[in-house]
Amino acid sequence: MTVVTIAREGAFAIVTINNPPVNALSRAVREGLMDAAEALDADPSVKGVVLTCAGNTFIAGADVNEFGQPPLPPHLPDVVARIEAADKPWIAAIHGSALGGGLEIALGCRFRIAAPGSSLGLPEVTLGLIPGAGGTVRTPRLVGASAAVDLVTTGKPVNAARAFAMGLIDAIARDGDLIASAIDALTERLQSPLPPTLASRSPLPVDATFWAEAEKKVKAAAKGEAAPMKALASIRTSVEKDFATAMAFERETFLERRASREAAALRMAFFAEREALRPVALRAIEAPKLETAGVIGGGTMGAGIAMALLDAGLTVTLIERDGEAAARGHANVAALVEASLKRGRLDTAGAAALLSRLSASSDYAALAGADLVIEAVFEDMAVKQAVFAQLEAVCRADAILATNTSYLDPREVGSPVADKRRYIGLHFFSPAHVMRLLEIVPVPETAPVTLAAAFALAKRLRKVPVEAGICDGFIGNRILKRYRAEAENLVREGIAIADVDAAMRAFGFPMGPFEAQDLGGLDIAFLQREGARASGTLEAEALADILVRAGRKGQKTAGGWYDYQPGERRPLVSAEAARLLAPHVSATASTLDGEVIADRLVQAMAEEGRSILAEGIAKRAVDIDLVEIHGYGFPRRKGGPMFHSGLSA
């Protein structure tokens, strides 16, 4: 198949890229564009060129099949430069997405027009890179330094209206008439002298104060990632230096970033997330469409799950033990909707639409027509089994029944369900409407179509799904348990609690292990350990147990591993915690370099991950990394414990 074709519309040539599914900039596309530019410059009957794409989108970026491979000519900067230097003016006719190299190609065209609903962006920083074909050099020459900084260092795309307002495109096309609109725009532009190419323009200068403020803002948003700051440096070079110097600086920085460990980690995460949504074994299975759902339990977890389902367009019935509890559950969900309204995620109409699809009841019969029901009650085996006994009595025979248990064996939880083909574990992470991870835990009898429905639901919820086998804590909480145990071992050896937390923050976690426990509550894991001990399972005494038995449960009691002032969340080193733990801590205080502490904790996580793989609890090392990144705050730029430790495969 020829991926670049040329057609004629009067005096205009229509160059069409057809490289499904997203018209990626493969070598064949790059060669085709170079050949088209040469051929059209040599044709005296051509007055102008419209560059468009077949299918649902403009060029959505680089060819992922070429990631990590040696680059082959023609290189993208040369393709952009050739289009920009064409004797006949090109106009990029954009629909769908013009991202990364796709937008850089459009910047090489003399003009740009976009269909309503299009998006344009330079997302390279999200992969640890910077634009490498003029994105940091041409954008400030087109839209100014401030807009360029926002566009490039965040990696966030803008819609057609915003792109037009900032000057990134010249016009918005008539709806449904992109090519004709492009030809009309180009015809009008040819009535006047052509504007200079971006390569020949000089960007408006900005003062040193602008760069100082931009550096502060970008550094704060980058959260330790290097690429946004590198992109900012490239934009500054493009403003302060000539075009050729700026292009050389950008290319050198791009090549350095492409070879970096951070970019490799972010690429790994990117590809793993893509693959997670469509497991190979399930691709041939058509999942049933889920439109109505029930959630049992209206507390923090249940309300969050209900909110996530509503946000994905489902109709939700919340079930609680009595009318008063049902009203509280409804209010909990309404509060989440209100919070989204205040943050601007929803407008008034959108919030009203969500709440119109929510009902709350104490009558399980309200779930008779539900496609899916998720149990999210207290982590107590008897309570959960009682829920499923009631669901078995009222739900349709083909309704999917799911448990949200964090630690309990889902085989036992779902024992009242007669047909286990429709039963599965869906482990959400709190807050469920925010956290992207969803551990999907099938039981041995779970039907493939039920598993496929779970993955399809995760995609609809915009979550990252990972299939997990059955064990204590599944993947994430099992590793968390090992992580916390190793952190306690460090404390037993005389390492200060605050030093352990500081080391993990420096590594890139939003919080250290002890700060995180204080925030969530030490009593949650304590009760799980107590339950295990009561059932006869050998469960070692944790240092955290000592604190809980002394009434120190974390921030909720103004004291856990740390002390807290009333109304404040700032952790304060606690003399009382030190006194309680003293009999179990080395009398000789020790110090370790922060990097050594972090390495020890990450290695403990990776070793537990190795065991999880060996036991078949996780299918791939990258699945473990996804769990840690999206469920536990492992820094994405480090790639997860398996990648960071060289164990990914």
The residues that are catalytic are: 104, 124
Rounded Cα gap, residues 458 and 630, in angstroms: 13
CB 376 within 8 A of CB 384: no
Which residues fall within 8 angstroms of residue 257, CB to CB, at 6 or more apart? 128, 129, 130, 226, 227, 230, 263
Residue with tokens 């959960």: 384
Cα–Cα nearest to 508, from 605, 627, 600, 636: 636
What residues form DSSP beta bridges with 101?
none
Say what angle helices 208-222 and 227-240 make with each other, to 10 degrees. 160
Cis upstream peptide for 416 (omega within 30°): no
Cα dihedral angle (18, 19, 22, 24), rounded to 10 degrees?
Answer: -120
Which residues fall within 8 angstroms of residue 380, CB to CB, at 6 or more apart? none
Cis upstream peptide for 21 (omega within 30°): yes
Q: Is 551 left (phi over 0), alpha (psi -120 to 50) or beta?
A: left
Cα–Cα nearest to 492, from 601, 589, 597, 599: 589
CB 521 within 8 A of CB 564: no
Residue with tokens 């102008």: 48
How many other CB atoms are there within 10 angstroms of residue 31's CB atom? 16
Between CA 362 and CA 368, with CA 367 as vertex, the angle to 5 degrees is 130
E-strand stretches of 443-486? 464-467
How many other CB atoms are there within 10 angstroms of residue 573's CB atom? 12
Which H or E element spans position 246?
helix 243-258
